[in-house]
Amino acid sequence: MTNLKRAFFWAAIYLAVIFVLGQADYSGRPIINFASYFYLAVMIAVPVTLFFPSISRVSTFVPLLVWAGIYLVLLQMIDRNLSANEGEFAVIILEFVLLEAGVWFAHQLALQIGHAESIMDALALSAFPNRAHQIEEESQRIGIELRRSRRYHRPLSLVVIESESEDQKTTREMLRSIQHDLLNRFTSARVGQIIDDRVRQTDLVMRDHRGRFVVLCPETELENTILLAKRIALAIKERTNLHVLWGVAAFPEEALTFDDLLQKATERLMSSDAIHNEQVPAFEPN
């Protein structure tokens, strides 16, 4: 059994134990009478730990300590008599242990899902290699380029590029399957490769948390950045049949920080269909 399958198995066993212990009764009353806030804590703790990627990147002890603290606060603030028997110290200990076990199982499952996604990303990048990195990883270079442009009064622009399927409803349905998730990663890698082929070596290619591509273009006026965005959009449309949304912003005329540049360019996202009748001049990277 693989680690991912094992994590799913134990998470399912955990949920089954919670359900059986809470629902099993003898002579018309529950064998173990859990407090209602325990169920609420489990319902919140497990999904939050599982579906927030940032939590899976920290040590397991961090969410365990956080939810242990939350449970102790609830224990002090809420009257157990409202939903459970008073003074059941053994039940309180069992609730605490089960909550911590749930957080641990969810964290392990999130880790295994993260590993599986990393493998899929590696496969996609091996098929379509490109130099796009996550924005968080490039914060130092972003700061350097902004300071250089500000100090020497040099132009700098930014492009945000987002691809989308023609049928958004179909895409939402397909996103629910692992097969489409894998296809989406390969498509994203292909788009990154096309972008990589058309930007200069001095341009910084990144991806944000939504999977959009962000290109920081030092020494580039806004007009040339627009031409670059149009050329990339046309190439993506021709090679992948994907619609492309793009937006640009210039430093320092329109924004003074990277976050503001990103926000401005995102607000200007427009479909390549809006400029399909315009002639796109050649603009080869250096």
The predicted pLDDT at position 69 comes to 92
The answer to whether residues 116 and 185 touch, using CB atoms and an 8 Å cutoff, is no
Over residues 95-105, mean pLDDT: 87
Q: Assess contact for 228 and 199: CB atoms under 8 A.
A: yes
Q: What is the pLDDT of residue 285?
A: 43
Average of pLDDT values for 262-270?
Answer: 86
In this structure, how many other beta carbons lie within 10 angstroms of the beta carbon of residue 146?
19
CA angle, 108 as apex, 103 and 112 as ends, to 5°? Answer: 145
Flag whether pLDDT at 82 surpasses 70.
no
Q: Is the pLDDT of residue 96 over 70?
A: yes
The predicted pLDDT at position 7 comes to 65
Please, are residues 124 and 185 in contact by the beta-carbon 8 Å criterion? yes
- Tell me the per-residue pLDDT of 178-218, one tens digit each, with 9 for 90 and over: 455 556 677 778 888 888 888 888 899 998 888 889 999 99
- For the chain, the maximum distance between any two Cα atoms, rounded to a whole number of angstroms, is 82
221, two tokens: 């006026």
CA–CA dist 138, 111 (Å, integer): 24
The encoded tokens of residue 48 equal 């939050």
Number of DSSP helices (H) and strands (E) in the chain, helices first: 10, 8
Alpha-carbon gap, residue 113 to 110, rounded angstroms = 5
**Has residue 172 got a pLDDT over 60?**
no
Provide the pLDDT confidence category of residue 240 given band limits of 50, 70 and 90. confident
Task: Note the pLDDT of residue 114.
Answer: 77
For residue 279, name the pLDDT band (cuts at 50, 70, 90): very low
Helices 36-51 and 61-77 pack at an angle, to 10 degrees, of: 160
DSSP, collapsed to helix, strand or coil, labels residue 135 as helix
Residue 235 parent element (H or E): helix 222-240
Mean pLDDT, rounded, of the chain:
77
- Which residue type occupies 57? R
Please report the domains of the chain, with CATH numbers, ordered by start residue: 3-125 (no CATH), 131-275 (3.30.70.270)
- Residue closest to 37 by CA, chosen among 2, 10, 3, 73: 73
For the ranges 16-30, 66-80, 250-264, the lowest mean pLDDT is seen at 16-30
CA atoms lying within 13 Å on the CB side of residue 64 = 12
Please state the separation of Cα 7 from the chain's center in Å: 21
pLDDT given for residue 37 in this prediction: 82
Tokens 């591509």 sit at which residue? 213
